[in-house]
């Protein structure tokens, strides 16, 4: 209990300010389909009349699970969530010592988070060049592959240089949404509509893949029928893809 706050503060300061780990922090806090406040409110509401009776249930999807655990650490470090109150809600430790609550918290949150991240870091290490002076795009540092932001930066050995800003996928996602809506409107044949929808979905998946495959996506998009505004939307998407290389 005498060191937990200090160690957590040191850890989170590193996660938020280290140039490389900022990329990972961004992925963990911006994952799709995760609303931390809603999840936490639902979990808190499960507490009954006894200490530790709250049901601390995380999603089975590992990406979502990691995101919630990491964001929980962020909220506790910032003071938005009180560690002792959290532990009293979800952990029945058998005694009232603060150390016991901290051990329970570390066992349920910190250790699983650390363990799973270590596996993902090992996978990243295996893809890095042996020569430590080689340039490594920070876009390759991916622990979450469907996070909201796309990272376009680079790292050189131990000297990290940011060569581009973080860019959101909002515009591209909006274009694909418009494309699918337009297909639904103008393609009258149901079978052709289904096929066109599959083409659009496949192209979007290729764009969002890690690494992205813009050329393959372009080939697919060019097979769509030139009906209604499909052609103009595809042109807008292809212009965006051209920036990806």
Supply the range of the domain harboring residue 140: 4-161
Report the pLDDT value the prediction gives residue 67, as an integer from 0 to 100. Answer: 93
Residues 145 and 200 in one domain: no
Report the pLDDT value the prediction gives residue 13, as an integer from 0 to 100. Answer: 93
Give the pair of three-digit tokens for residue 193. 């509509």
Report the pLDDT value the prediction gives residue 150, as an integer from 0 to 100. Answer: 43
Residues 176 and 141 in one domain: no
Domain limit, last residue, from 161, 178, 213: 161
Residues 145 and 46 in one domain: yes
pLDDT per residue as tens digits for the range 145-188: 655 544 444 444 444 443 332 344 677 888 888 999 999 999 98
Residues 201 and 137 in one domain: no
Count of CA atoms in the C-beta half-sphere (13 A) of 10 = 5
Residues 129 and 173 in one domain: no
The average pLDDT across 53-68 equals 90
Supply angle C-alpha 54, 56, 59, rounded to 5.
145
What torsion, rounded to 10 degrees, do the Cα atoms 43, 46, 48, 53 define?
A: -60
Report the pLDDT value the prediction gives residue 81, as an integer from 0 to 100. Answer: 93
The average pLDDT across 36-48 equals 92
Residues 58 and 117 in one domain: yes
Report the pLDDT value the prediction gives residue 131, as an integer from 0 to 100. Answer: 78
pLDDT per residue as tens digits for the range 126-148: 877 777 777 777 767 788 865 55
Residues 124 and 104 in one domain: yes
Report the pLDDT value the prediction gives residue 52, as an integer from 0 to 100. Answer: 76
Percent of the chain with pLDDT over 90: 32
Residues 151 and 217 in one domain: no
Percent of the chain with pLDDT over 70: 87
pLDDT per residue as tens digits for the range 79-99: 999 999 999 999 888 888 889
Residues 213 and 116 in one domain: no
Query: Does residue 47 or residue 132 have the better pLDDT?
Result: 47
Report the pLDDT value the prediction gives residue 37, as an integer from 0 to 100. Answer: 93
Residues 92 and 197 in one domain: no
Confidence of residue 72 (pLDDT cuts 50, 70, 90): very high
Residues 238 and 179 in one domain: yes
Counting the structural domains of the chain, the total is: 2
Domain limit, last residue, from 161, 192, 214: 161
To the nearest whole number, what is the mean pLDDT of the chain? 82
Domain limit, last residue, from 161, 187, 209: 161
Report the pLDDT value the prediction gives residue 147, as an integer from 0 to 100. Answer: 52
Report the pLDDT value the prediction gives residue 174, as an integer from 0 to 100. Answer: 86
Assign residue 145 a region (left: φ > 0; alpha: ψ between -120 and 50; beta: otherwise): alpha
Residues 150 and 105 in one domain: yes
User: SS3 for 136?
Assistant: strand
């Amino acid at each position: 209990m005498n060191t937990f706050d200090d160690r957590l503060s040191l850890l989170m300061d590193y996660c938020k300010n280290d140039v490389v780990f900022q990329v990972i922090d961004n992925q963990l806090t911006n994952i799709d389909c995760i609303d931390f406040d809603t999840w936490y409110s639902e979990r808190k509401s499960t507490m009954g009349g006894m200490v530790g009776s709250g049901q601390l249930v995380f999603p089975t999807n590992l990406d979502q699970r990691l995101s919630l655990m990491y964001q929980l650490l962020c909220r506790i470090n910032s003071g938005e969530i009180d560690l002792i109150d959290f532990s009293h809600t979800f952990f029945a430790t058998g005694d009232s010592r603060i150390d016991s609550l901290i051990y329970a918290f570390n066992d349920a949150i910190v250790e699983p988070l650390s363990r799973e991240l270590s596996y993902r870091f090992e996978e990243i290490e295996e893809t890095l060049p042996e020569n430590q002076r080689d340039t490594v795009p920070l876009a390759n540092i991916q622990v979450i592959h469907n996070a909201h932001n796309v990272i376009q930066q680079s790292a050189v050995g131990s000297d990290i240089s940011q060569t581009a800003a973080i860019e959101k996928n909002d515009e591209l996602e909006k274009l694909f949404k418009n494309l699918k809506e337009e297909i639904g409107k103008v393609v009258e044949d149901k079978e052709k509509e289904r096929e066109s929808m599959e083409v659009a979905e496949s192209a979007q998946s290729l764009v969002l893949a890690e690494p992205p495959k813009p050329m393959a996506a372009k080939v697919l998009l060019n097979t769509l029928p030139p009906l209604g505004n499909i052609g103009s939307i595809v042109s807008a998407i292809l212009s965006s893809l051209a920036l990806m290389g």
